[in-house]
A and B are shown apart, each in its own frame.
Chain A
Amino acid sequence: MLELLGAALVNVAQAKYLVPLVAGTLVGIVGGALPGVTITMTIIVVLPFTFGLDPLQGLAAMTGVYVGGSAGGLVTAVLLGIPGTPSAIATTFDGHPMAKKGEPGRAIWLGVWASFFGGLIGGAFLIGATGPLARLALEFGPWEFFSLFVFALSMVAGLVEGTLLKGLLSGALGLVVTILGSDPVMGRERLTLGIDLLAGGIPFLPVLIGVFAFAQIMTEVERSGGGAKLALAVDGAVRLTASQLKIIWEILSRPVLLLWSSFIGVLIGVLPAIGGSAASVMAYDQAKKFSRRPEKFGSGIPEGIVASESSNNANVGGSLVTIMAFGIPGDAVTAVMLGALTIHGIQSGPLFILQNPQLAYGIFAAYLLAHPIMVLLLALGARWALRIVTVPKAALFPAVLVLCVVGAYALANAISGVWILLAFGVLGYAMVKLAFPLAPFILGVILGDQIEINLIRAIMTDSNPWLFLTRPISGGLLAASVLSFVAALWQHRRMQNKAAAAAGDADF
């Protein structure tokens, strides 16, 4: 394993791979720093650029975006008090007060180095766990895969914000998308509704791009009309210098906080479709609970920044594990990466690491190298990131949508992909307006075909339906699905009761 990793590190350090990695990390930092532009949107924008690259070049660029984006959000979170990405929300709680107290450099560098160490801990988990988990998945038959995908879907539906019912319905609607057009087992046409465009089924990338890009852009448009740009609240003369050794020591002298926050990040990353925002808020909450001075949280203390930033970068490693071991995207960003693999004819899942060891270890190497690159780029350009947030959205949004069009068109060199992009853009925006979570929908679209294929394969191998329950792993996964459903139901009820009690208190 170490030999392969060493060779991959040397390989990725070549200009051929290093250039896309650096470019991706830079774009990620910029996208992360821009409030209103998430890492998902940034990676969607980068996707079409990877079509003309070889798979490792493309995936190195995307890994760079993921790592850079997770760290880039902290710049605006600290200096402007506006998180560049949702995963930097918890960083604002202590980062911005610290900057306001006259220590912007310390706040930024605490975040950067915490991201670095958290990311490396996530990387250690990624490298150590992917192989064993993939070997475990190789033991799976169609019953286990079916149950695993159902488990992933039920978990996402239950864990997303909002009501459980809408989470479930959103996941089920994602499955509906996959039944239109073509039967994945025999390849026969079905439910085309007389529309030629549906004859071969609906490709998932234009769906994903449309749903996420339009949902985000149109939500911004309805608020501001797009003409608004952020006022630069920090003057250009702000000093971001700090003693790096002192900052590193400040982080490493809190090993429990660093490890526990990174562990939370990894764990949340492994769970499908819950992103870095949940990880950073949860790690922040845990750091506060276990702190000897919880009352200081929110006033600009280093623990808050370390917890938030280490967890959101460790989260990236966790998210990459599930896609590489099981072929299940950990979040929307890895869903796009899954699409990039598919475009290059590479099947993700348990066989991925065995059949493509160079590519798999190349991703590990890119992930590890992206962290020092991220530190270097932020050292050189944190001040510039502040300038970028003044880009008017009226210029940014049309340009982003043009890149979405290129991505959707270039998949099959057909305009049908662009129509699908528009149709699902409308659907994505409608879902946001109806408060339907998007993550279960996308996971449903991605897993739908695999759920059907494995269900049919299992029944054709042995028509006894009880096998889904009596085979230990399959039964365990289905039991876990029911448990996660019940837990989510309990959690939602508890939150509703709390809200009702709070409303009752307010009345009196």
Chain B
Amino acid sequence: MLSKDGWGGLVVLATSLLLFGLTLGLADNPLVPIGPGFYPRIVLGLTAGLGFWLFAADFVSRKKSEKPEHKLNYAAVLTQFGVFGLYVAALPGLGFRIATALYVAAASALLAPPRGVKGWLGLAVLALGTAAATWLVFERYLLVLLPRGRWTDF
């Protein structure tokens, strides 16, 4: 059975070979003697070789996957990535201010669920405060444009 290293090596090897195959279809430029696929082939050859080495070293050593000393909360990680993905997807539609307030509220509440009225109030202040302060500092003072909502025009 492969450990994480072995699987990682296999993924790198497969991806490198796939991309290497795609470089063979790149047409050369008549003005430049070296085509756009020349350097990618060197790099992908290197990653394929190293990926295979990682896989083979793991296969030969047959080391078992190490279990972490502490139980890790992968569900929290997955949820945070999910919420962030939703935030990115919602940004063009809702606009920076609304999407950011919703994101901060959701992410923070999932990390440490608020308790009592004070907790919820604190969460609301954090979410609205972060969105408002960021928008004010960047749009108003630093003149950095932030996304405006397609659906909300806000």
- Using Cβ atoms and an 8 Å threshold, which residues of chain B touch A4? none
- The answer to whether B152 has its CB under 8 Å from any CB of chain A is no
* A402 touching B111, Cβ below 8 Å: no
- The answer to whether A345 has its CB under 8 Å from any CB of chain B is no
- The answer to whether B60 has its CB under 8 Å from any CB of chain A is no
* A399 touching B5, Cβ below 8 Å: no
- Using Cβ atoms and an 8 Å threshold, which residues of chain A touch B87? 405
The CA of A455 and the CA of B149, in the complex, are separated in Å by 45
* A191 touching B23, Cβ below 8 Å: yes
Contact A395 B50, CB 8 Å, known A186-B36, A218-B81? no
* B138 touching A410, Cβ below 8 Å: yes
* A406 touching B112, Cβ below 8 Å: no
- Using Cβ atoms and an 8 Å threshold, which residues of chain B touch A459? 34
- A175 nearest in chain B by CB position: B43
* B130 touching A402, Cβ below 8 Å: yes
* A52 touching B141, Cβ below 8 Å: yes
* A165 touching B4, Cβ below 8 Å: no
Contact A172 B46, CB 8 Å, known A221-B111, A399-B104, A403-B134? yes
- A180 nearest in chain B by CB position: B19
- The answer to whether B1 has its CB under 8 Å from any CB of chain A is no
- Chain B, range 24-58, C-beta contacts under 8 Å to A: 26, 29, 31-34, 36-40, 43-44, 46-47, 50-51, 53-54, 57
Out of B19, B54, B137, B143, name the residue touching A176 (CB < 8 Å): B19
Taking residues whose C-beta sits less than 8 angstroms from the other chain, chain A's interface range is: 35 or more
- Using Cβ atoms and an 8 Å threshold, which residues of chain A touch B94? none
Interface residue tally for chain B (C-beta within 8 Å): 62
* A398 touching B130, Cβ below 8 Å: yes
- The answer to whether A188 has its CB under 8 Å from any CB of chain B is yes
- Using Cβ atoms and an 8 Å threshold, which residues of chain B touch A223? 70, 72-73
Out of A222, A397, A422, name the residue touching B73 (CB < 8 Å): A222
- The answer to whether B136 has its CB under 8 Å from any CB of chain A is no
- Using Cβ atoms and an 8 Å threshold, which residues of chain B touch A456? 32, 34, 38-39
The CA of A288 and the CA of B69, in the complex, are separated in Å by 31
The CA of A436 and the CA of B11, in the complex, are separated in Å by 14
- The answer to whether A166 has its CB under 8 Å from any CB of chain B is yes
* A406 touching B47, Cβ below 8 Å: no
A190, A193, A223, A398: residue with the most chain B Cβ atoms closer than 10 Å: A398
* B145 touching A410, Cβ below 8 Å: yes
- A407 nearest in chain B by CB position: B144
- The answer to whether A418 has its CB under 8 Å from any CB of chain B is yes
Out of A52, A169, A398, A418, name the residue touching B144 (CB < 8 Å): A52
* A401 touching B107, Cβ below 8 Å: yes
- The answer to whether A346 has its CB under 8 Å from any CB of chain B is no
- The answer to whether A301 has its CB under 8 Å from any CB of chain B is no
- The answer to whether A260 has its CB under 8 Å from any CB of chain B is no
* A401 touching B84, Cβ below 8 Å: yes
* A176 touching B47, Cβ below 8 Å: yes
- B9 nearest in chain A by CB position: A169
* A434 touching B138, Cβ below 8 Å: no
- B129: min CB distance to chain A, Å: 9
The CA of A456 and the CA of B41, in the complex, are separated in Å by 13
* A433 touching B130, Cβ below 8 Å: no
* B88 touching A165, Cβ below 8 Å: no
- Chain B, range 61-107, C-beta contacts under 8 Å to A: 70, 72-74, 76-77, 80-81, 84-85, 87-88, 91-92, 100, 103-104, 107
- The answer to whether B146 has its CB under 8 Å from any CB of chain A is yes
* B107 touching A186, Cβ below 8 Å: no
* B88 touching A394, Cβ below 8 Å: no
- Using Cβ atoms and an 8 Å threshold, which residues of chain A touch B142? 49, 51-53
Contact A406 B77, CB 8 Å, known A166-B54, A172-B50, A179-B39? no
25 A-B interface contacts by CB (under 8 A): A52-B138, A52-B144, A183-B36, A186-B29, A190-B26, A190-B37, A191-B26, A218-B80, A221-B80, A222-B77, A225-B73, A225-B111, A397-B80, A398-B104, A399-B104, A401-B107, A405-B100, A406-B134, A406-B138, A409-B146, A410-B145, A410-B146, A415-B92, A425-B81, A460-B32
| 7 closest Cβ pairs, A-B complex | A52-B142, A226-B111, A227-B112, A394-B112, A394-B111, A398-B107, A183-B36
